[in-house]
Structure 1
Amino acid sequence: MAVTCCNFTQASSGFIKLQEYIQLQSNFTRCQQRQTCSVEKVFHRRYGGRLQVERWDRYKHVLCARGVELSPSVVGDSGEETEEDISKETLIWRAIKLPIYSVAFVPLTVGSAAAYLQTGIFSARCYIVLLASSVLVITWLNLSNDVYDFDTGVDKNKKESVVNLVGSRTGTSIAAYLCLALGFIGLTWTAVAKKNMSSMLFLVCAIICGYIYQCPPFRLSYQGLGEPLCFAAFGPFATTAFYLLHGSSSVMNHFPLSGTVLSASILVGLTTSLILFCSHFHQVEGDKEVGKMSPLVRLGTKKGAQVVKGAVLMLYALLVAFGLSKELPFTCVFLCSLTLPMGNLVIRFVEDNHKDKNKIFMAKYFCVRLHALFGVALALGFVLARNTTFTSWPILS
């Protein structure tokens, strides 16, 4: 049970007695048997001190912190793995951004549920086609964003960038626009089948928001306008378009645009924008270097944490306001209020970790959870309200 890299020179001479040496080896062996990277503090009774043992699971050895310093390229100050240590599988998972595809699922689900509230009709076929098409459009957004960030140099050190992973800027760009073409065909086919081309106007506006957000010559995200564009694209534009597409199944000649769906789309847009805002926390330094003036570059992470808190509080304040004004049914207000613990978690996590780049990376994923839970609760509230006396008042027919 040989123990490597240990230095006993800083302990007193009695520390090297055979019995205590065997005890120390036993402590080290137990640390080696742990499966995760950890820091163990072993209390030594005789000397009233602590031995700090640090283990890096990748190389399967134990280091004694007494007299041994770890290279920053190996382990960060907090004992966590740095980007050089992240596995290829983890980088691929981050590049895929699977949780982010909730931004395709939530507007569609909420819009469909709002239409069901008014008509009592739901088309599973239409829903599946629209979901697949939306996923393709979001894939275009993600891939083209990596392409154009690669062009400006903002992603030069971003190992999970698709361009950096595949090593081909051209191939990634072609794949991106192929996804956009296929997604747009699916959306158009559904609009034609439903004989509701007005919904395509909203969808085209949503796609235009996505294009000017990141693509040249606009690149409005570099001017700090990404969040308003995200709000408009996924909130009023996308959610309303999906509402109209499902509502066109109604026997009514003109499907009305109601205050209910507009209220719901505002809430969806707010939670979606929160995801984008929190995704900038760990990229502030890189964005600043290339002149990308994201809101967090302008505000700083401390004020950014306050913005997150204000946005979450505004989300629930609007929920109550829409409920009191009878724009949203009580079932929506009640079910969405059950997501308050998740909203509180987002606030606390950002406030506690906004300075820690290694931890704040997870903020956007907590926002994704809030976005998904809130959206599902909103949609379920619409479905349950179908059997109540709630009336959705039209504002445009």
Structure 2
Amino acid sequence: MMLMAASFCDVNLGCGLRKLHDFHSTPNGKTRSHAHAQNLCSYSKQHIYLKRLDIKQVEVKRRFKLHQVSSGKNAHSSELAKEDDISMATLIWRAIKLPIYSVALVPLTIGSASAYLQSSTFPATRYFVLLVSSILVITWLNLSNDVYDFDTGADKNKRESVVNLIGSRTGTLLAAYMFLVLGLIGLTWVSLEAGHLRAMLLLACAIFCGYIYQCPPFRLSYHGLGEPLCFAAFGPFATTGFYWLMGNNSSVNCLPLTGTVLCASLLIGFTTSLILFCSHFHQVRLGTEKGSSVVKVAITALYSLLLIFGLSRDLPSSCIILCLLTLPMGNRVVSFVDENHEVSREHRRS
């Protein structure tokens, strides 16, 4: 058995070696080895080509980013050059901020109209004294805001800042509080002449809201409370106070609080707060996408409230018609924040 097994192994081993020798000596073996070598060579070439392609793509992306950065710097430089070319008259006009004084005119006018609807009287002298006094108070807000923004460094490079134009922080602050004192004198005189001290209390609350909004040590505008304070100051406080002061004290000591004046004050406060929010929109406040959504919802809610107050007959039909004429302006505001949001998003991507 052992001899047979040994001879069988020898035979198999010999056959296997012979087959291996024949395989390498035949042309098929050579062809297969050559094909395998060609596959390895083509794979190496393809791998090298892909590596070079990746390197080229990375280089193209790097050059594109450098071009974007260079373009941004050039655009920023051109903007700075344009800012340097602005005339002094333009800077003064910007520093005055004339549209901001509409917040002195609107609450007084709406309060006076509500009082006229109730008492059929319009004391012109009181109206103009209150208008001048309100403008003086708003001037105090404007100047003191520039002073305290200068202190925080927010207006350091703002050429139209009153502090930068005058060159004196102390002088600007003294002028601001001088305007406030003059405004308070006018408001107090009308309150005493009309005999409505409660109205003066409401106006004092409105001024206090303005103080804690921007003046130290409060500066509640930096804590996200600017819009609520603005709503209270120019809405219920100022509008209702002017409504009482413009009433006829000879026939009635104090006009009743009607649904008309309350609804009107709510709309004024809402609108003024929305204007304040939009004025901060270019600073990417709340994130531009979130901020644009807030503006759209707020404008929709504003016109919805107007419609509700009109259907409930708390506001006259003429008031509803006049307010609906502002729909194109509301649409323009929505379009503006949409465009501003897109621009801000592009800046973040670059």
Query: What TM-score do you get using the length of structure 1 for normalisation?
Result: 0.66
| Greater strand content | 1
* Secondary structure of 1:75's aligned partner: helix
Q: Which moved more, 1:182-191 or 1:318-327?
A: 318-327
TM-aligned CA distance change 1:205 to 1:310, over 3 Å? same
Secondary structure of 2:246 counterpart: helix
Residue 216 of structure 1: how far off its partner (Å)? 0.7
Question: Where does 1:282-301 land on structure 2 (aligned, <5 Å)?
Answer: 282-284=282-284, 296=285, 299-301=286-288
> How far off its partner does 1:74 sit?
4.7
Unaligned runs of 5+ in 2: 1-70, 345-350
Counterpart code for 1:340: L
Pairing partner for 1:303 from 290, 293, 299:
290
Aligned partners of 1:104 and 1:351: how far apart in 2? 29
* Residue in 1 that maps onto 2:78: 75
Q: Does 1:89 align with 2:89?
A: yes
Report deviation, 1:81: 6.7
Task: Using the TM superposition, give the Cα deviation of residue 355 of structure 1 relative to its aligned residue in structure 2, in angstroms.
Answer: 5.1
Matched residue, 2:237: 237
**SS of residue paired to 2:203:** helix
Question: 1:103 deviation in Å?
Answer: 0.5
RMSD: 2.0
Question: 2: CA distance between counterparts of 1:226 and 1:275?
Answer: 11
CA contact (8 A) 2:148 2:215 kept: yes
Which residue of 2 is the match for residue 391 of structure 1?
none
Identical counterparts, % of pairs: 67
| 1:346 is the counterpart of 2:348 | no
Counterpart for residue 221 of structure 1: 221
User: Tell me, what secondary structure is at the counterpart of 1:121?
Assistant: coil
- 1:262 is the counterpart of 2:262: yes
1:29-53 CA deviation, whole Å, 9 max, x = no partner? xxxxxxxxxxxxxxxxxxxxxxxxx
Aligned residues: 274
Q: Decide which moves more: 113-122 or 326-335.
A: 326-335
Which of residues 321, 325, 328 is equivalent to 1:334? Answer: 321
Taking the aligned partners of 1:69 and 1:176, their CA distance within structure 2 comes to 39
Secondary structure, counterpart of 2:122 in structure 1: coil
2:305 counterpart of 1:318: yes
Amino acid at match of 1:301: T
- d(CA) in 1 for partners of 2:183, 2:114: 23
CA distance in 2, matches of 1:172, 1:70: 35
Q: Which amino acid aligns with 2:183?
A: G
The answer to whether the aligner puts 1:185 opposite 2:188 as a matched pair is no
- 1:181 Cα deviation from its structure 2 partner: 0.1
AA aligned opposite 2:300? L
Amino acid at match of 1:75: S
The CA deviation string for residues 14-38 of structure 1, in whole angstroms up to 9 with x for no partner, is xxxxxxxxxxxxxxxxxxxxxxxxx
Superposition map of 1:19-58 within 5 A: none
Tell me the distance in 1 between the aligned counterparts of 2:228 and 2:277.
10
Aligned partner of 1:104 in structure 2 is 104
Equivalent residue, structure 1, for 2:174: 174
Distance 1:83 1:274 in 2: 29
Cross-structure match for 1:125:
125
CA contact (8 A) 2:195 2:249 kept: no
C-alpha distance in 2 between matches for 1:166 and 1:282? 26
Shift of 1:71: 4.0
2:240 is paired with a residue of what secondary structure? helix
8 Å contact kept, 1:196–1:248: no
For residue 49 of structure 1, what is the aligned residue in structure 2?
none
Matches within 5 A, 1:119-158: 119-158=119-158
TM-score of the superposition, structure 2-length normalised? 0.75
- Deviation track 1:309-366 (CA, whole Å, cap 9, x = no partner) reads 1111111100011111221112211221111111111111111123548xxxxxxxxx
Distance 2:72 2:264 in 1: 54
1:42 is matched with none
Letter in structure 1 aligned against 2:330 = G
- In 2, distance between residues paired with 1:306 and 1:73? 29
How many Å apart are 1:85 and its aligned residue? Answer: 3.4
Q: Write the distance in 1 (CA, Å) between the matches of 2:131 and 2:254.
A: 24
Which one is further off, 346-355 or 144-153?
A: 346-355
| Bigger helix share | 2
**Relative to 1, partners in 2 of residues 1:121 and 1:226: Cα closer, same or farther, differing over 3 Å?**
same
Q: Secondary structure at the match of 1:115?
A: helix
CA radius of gyration, larger in: 2
